[in-house]
Structure 1
Amino acid sequence: MLKKIAVGVLVLALVIYGGLLAFLYVNQRAFFFNPAGEIFDPDAVGLDAEIVMIPTSDDEVITGWYAPPSGDEPTILYLKGNSGSFSAEYERFVSFTDAGYGFLSVDYRGFPLSPGEITQDNLLADALAAFDWLAEREEEIVVWGRSLGASPAVWVASQRDAEALLLETPFYSAVSVAAERYPFAPVAWLMLDQFHTNDWIGAVEEPVFVAHGTADRTVSVSNGERLYAEAPNPHQIWIEEGADHSDLWARGIWERAQVFFNEAEQGG
């Protein structure tokens, strides 16, 4: 009788565990990506920027905002994170243009302004398409990737020539972050969009600046530290004590970014 009970308990545990893994697998993109969000118009937020449509892979199109530089500063290709529309970050774009920088930012496919399916391959293709579109118009491009956007930013820098690469709260790889959150699950087998940023950083020739906070509860600071350690051309790492995942703009990343971009342009 005890043996039958033990077997029954084991079978039940396996069924529950299997059901949990199945739930994680089926819903993983809903956990990873949060595309819903408010859409803003550049005119409404006082930004002199053009709404652009950029062809990407599979004959699809992504939507973005573009403004050329007003002086001798480079143009920033800004690649957003995993939630909402890039347009919600208009405060940053206003600061870019006020300082004379140009910028281009887009919604990846599946995010508010761009129809399509959210997948790793689509995000990487969209980021590359944005860079190529920008390279037809601007000679000096710096790439800024925030959170999830740091991964396609590294991919772009590994495939194209930019002036500099800034990574704000990057992950070492998406699968490594998932393994931290779900240590009970074989995420390396289950995860569809693994974003192996660590595999691409070795091909990045551009100078690299990494910014992270010690209190980041979304992507632990060790991710940024490990990624920076593997960059072939590390320029600087800024670890802000007590900063969480979305705190770095208020804590001065833009001021530090301008110094970095200037030093990278001067070859320093």
Structure 2
Amino acid sequence: MSGISKALLSATLIVLLNGCTSLTSLYFYPQEVWIQTPANLGLEYEDVWLSAADGTGLHAWWIPAQGSTSHTNQVVLYLHGNAENISSHVRSVAWMPERGIDVLALDYRGFGASEGQAIMPGVLQDIEAAAAWIRQTYPDKELVVLGQSIGAALAVNFVAQAGERYQVQALVLEAPFAGFPDIARSALTGTWLGWIFVPATWLIPSDWDPQDKAAQIRIPTLMMHSKDDQVIPVQQGRKVFQNLAGERCWLDTSGPHIASYNDEYNRLISQKFIAKQSCEALGLTRPQSP
């Protein structure tokens, strides 16, 4: 069992034993200390300080397009996974600025230098603050939201909730889970002890389940999920994909959880999708589907 899976299992047991009132201890594992900055990867960047609607102070990294490649008109709002902070996830998008794509990498409340405690729906306010900053600072840029793991689940919720407010043009999702109770059950069934607590997962709130929110997504969406994923099984992503209401394309990948961008082919497909915001632009005979 991976470290992430063990952490999720432990937190699931704790929450079920103490009552299902807090999603924070179940799904978010923040770390304040940065292990690196974009500068360590040879990238120029700026610290961006934001304020959520409830006054929570937030931190993000603005990593503008750089290098000799022509700058594009796209900006990616990057939503990372559930553990550590942007410093341990930034490599997933570090290739984008070098290909002309601007990136705003957000740390949710409680992560890195952001204040507060990560909990739903507060983190959705954080994403809204980041999207508002992009719209105010770069009103003519085409906004694409990219989320990995729980970041993908949050991206679906954010776009479903925001509608056309921030003019999000497209979504890129890697390894979303179908529902909060679903992923808890998945973690529990990986061990004999966990099976005892599976019935209690029906008490976990499902107000923000991505598989339900997906029906409100009408913008083009590229979804990728590794068939080898041991943290969030690919079947979870398929449930979300099948409910998307807009144009959708599926990219089969391989390797560990949220490691698709280790493969240059997946980078190229995503780069093309971000530029065109269309599945037809991927050069496939037809969009792949699970």
In the superposition, the TM-score normalised over structure 1's length comes to 0.83
Assess if the C-alpha contact under 8 Å between 1:120 and 1:194 holds in 2. no
Distance 1:31 1:239, change over 3 A: same
Contact 2:15 2:26 in 1 (8 A): no
Q: CA deviation at 1:147?
A: 0.3
Tell me the residue number matched to 1:153.
155
Per-residue deviation, 1:130: 0.8
In the TM superposition, what is the alpha-carbon distance from 1:24 to its structure 2 partner?
7.0
Mapped partners of 2:280, 2:234: distance in 1: 28
More helix by share: 1
Q: Are the aligned partners of 2:225 and 2:251 in contact in 1 as well (CA < 8 Å)? A: yes
Partner residue, 2:57? 61
Q: TM-score, normalised by structure 2?
A: 0.77
C-alpha contact (below 8 Å) 2:211/2:243 kept by paired residues? yes
1:35 is aligned to 2:30? yes
Cα distance in 2 between the residues matched to 1:140 and 1:150: 19
Shift in CA distance, 27/198, structure 1 to aligned 2, threshold 3 Å = closer
- Aligned in 2, Cα 1:19/1:76: closer, same or farther, shift over 3 Å? closer
- How far the C-alpha of 1:150 sits from its partner, in A, is 0.6
Following the alignment from structure 1 to structure 2, what is the Cα–Cα distance between the partners of residues 208 and 49? 28
- Write the distance in 1 (CA, Å) between the matches of 2:250 and 2:130: 26
From 176, 199, 202, the equivalent of 1:185 is 199
Superimposed CA distance per residue, residues 104-137 of structure 1 (whole angstroms, 9 cap, x where no aligned partner): 0111001122110110111111111111111112
* Rounded Cα–Cα distance in structure 2 between residues aligned with 1:20 and 1:156: 25
Task: State yes or no: 1:234 paired with 2:247.
Answer: yes
Change in CA separation of 1:67 and 1:228 when aligned onto 2, cut-off 3 Å:
same
| Counterpart residue number, 2:110 | 110
> What is the distance in 1 between the residues matched to 2:97 and 2:14?
50
Shift of 1:144: 0.2
Query: Gaps (5+ residues) in structure 1?
Result: 1-17
Query: Which structure's relative contact order is higher, taking Cα pairs within 8 Å and 6+ residues apart?
Result: 2
Query: In structure 2, how many angstroms separate the alpha carbons of the residues matched to 1:102 and 1:251?
Result: 20
User: CA distance change for structure 1 residues 167 and 30 in 2, over 3 Å: closer, same or farther?
Assistant: same
Larger Rg: 1
Name structure 2 gaps, 5 residues minimum.
1-12, 189-194, 282-290
**Pairing partner for 1:143 from 142, 145, 156:** 145
Q: Is the 8 A contact 1:163 1:265 kept in 2?
A: no
SS of equivalent to 2:277? helix
* Cα distance in 1 for residues equivalent to 2:56 and 2:21: 25
Q: Which residue does 2:180 correspond to in 1?
A: 174
Q: CA deviation at 1:249?
A: 1.6
Tell me by how many angstroms 1:28 deviates.
Answer: 6.4
Shift of 1:23: 4.7
- Separation in structure 2 between the aligned mates of residue 21 and residue 156 of structure 1, nearest angstrom: 27
How far the C-alpha of 1:248 sits from its partner, in A, is 1.1
Say if 2:273 and 2:279, in contact at 8 Å, map to a contact too: no
Residues 28, 55 of structure 1: alpha-carbon distance in 2 compared, 3 angstrom cutoff: closer
RMSD: 2.6
Equivalent residue, structure 1, for 2:41: 45
Q: Secondary structure at the match of 1:88?
A: helix
Identity of aligned residues (%): 22
**1:217 corresponds to:** 230
The answer to whether the 8 A contact 1:172-1:226 is kept is yes
